[in-house]
Structure 1
Amino acid sequence: MCPERSDIYGLTIKQKKFADEYIISGNATEARIKAGYSKKTARSVGSENLTKPDIKTYIEERMAEIDSQKIADQKEVMEYLTSVMRGNETQEQLITIGLGEGMSRAEAVEVAVPARERIKAAELLGKRYSMWTDKVDQNSNASVMIVGEDEIED
């Protein structure tokens, strides 16, 4: 790999800077200028950079990584709901403290999540595991054999 190449994608330091700036702004011209390229050619070369396979791959993979970090996956959601249901989560609540002579002040305190929130978390978990349904799952692999009267022996 050339010493001017910056990473596994084979991008130069300027190309990586361009790609990172493009991810932030979504504007190829602006990203090109911020990456240190000439303002005169920023527009044409900026759009050209977006067609280069190495840069395009880098941008797509970074965007996917950023998206996956922002969105909770199923495991994270289930762990959070379980934590709420078990009473391991707290929330901040303001309380008023009387100081006398008609004066008071508000103070933030951590309190346990209310029972209604714990019940809601339990219900959501129960729905996930089909615990609260009266419906019968009728998916079956059983074979049915119909026998006529003349085939039955006495």
Structure 2
Amino acid sequence: MASTKVNEYGITDMQQAFADEYIVNPQNATQAAIKAGYAPATARSKASQLLTKVNVQKYIKERQKELEDAKIADQKEVLKFWSAGLRGERHEQVVVSTPDGAEVVDNELSEKDKLKNSELLAKATGMFIDRHEITNTQPIIIASVDTSDDEKIEVDDDESNTDS
């Protein structure tokens, strides 16, 4: 008899095993049920039932999101990658011709590539800050004005002419 104890996800271990198998091969829920330990004779109907359970659906969605998120490099991973390139810890495979044909050689990154890694690392960590000085000789006045008063607003552009 299978355990009916509910785990931290609100599903049984057998339901979780089904969900994990289903995530790997979502085209065949019946096979996922069989691999999870359900009887082959009832696997198809059991798989259908399991896929309608809210907690099983929630677990599947959470695990799929975790797996998808793991495919995307985070900031720390990118910084480590650039640092390794800068320090010469990364290598690239290059095809070179030999008297016998071609051979794949493991080369250290070029100085140009190391420089590019250092530049990207410096930009990402804020070592290069572009500063622009903005000067304005005219005062800026921001006021809230009722649009019905637009025709009543007078603009005095004669400030530049008062330097007599």
Please give the TM-score of this superposition, normalised by the length of structure 2.
0.61
Gaps of at least 5 residues in structure 1 are 96-103
> What is the aligned partner in structure 1 of residue 109 from structure 2?
113
> What is the aligned partner in structure 2 of residue 76 from structure 1?
77
Q: Which has the larger radius of gyration?
A: 2
Contact 1:22–1:31 (CA under 8 A) maintained in structure 2: yes
How has the CA–CA distance of structure 1 residues 147 and 130 changed in structure 2, closer, same or farther, with 3 Å as cutoff?
Answer: farther
Please give the TM-score of this superposition, normalised by the length of structure 1.
0.64
Deviations 1:4-41 (A, max 9, x none): 32520122222111111111111211111111223233
How has the CA–CA distance of structure 1 residues 150 and 132 changed in structure 2, closer, same or farther, with 3 Å as cutoff?
Answer: closer
Which amino acid counterpart does residue 149 of structure 1 have in structure 2? E
In structure 1, C-alpha distance between the alignment counterparts of 2:80 and 2:8, rounded to whole Å = 35
Which amino acid counterpart does residue 25 of structure 1 have in structure 2? N
> What is the aligned partner in structure 1 of residue 67 from structure 2?
66
How has the CA–CA distance of structure 1 residues 44 and 150 changed in structure 2, closer, same or farther, with 3 Å as cutoff?
Answer: same
> What is the aligned partner in structure 2 of residue 25 from structure 1?
25
In structure 1, C-alpha distance between the alignment counterparts of 2:106 and 2:133, rounded to whole Å = 43
> What is the aligned partner in structure 2 of residue 46 from structure 1?
47
Contact 1:6–1:16 (CA under 8 A) maintained in structure 2: no
RMSD: 4.3
> What is the aligned partner in structure 2 of residue 122 from structure 1?
118
> What is the aligned partner in structure 2 of residue 148 from structure 1?
158
Identical pairs, percent: 38
Aligned residues: 142
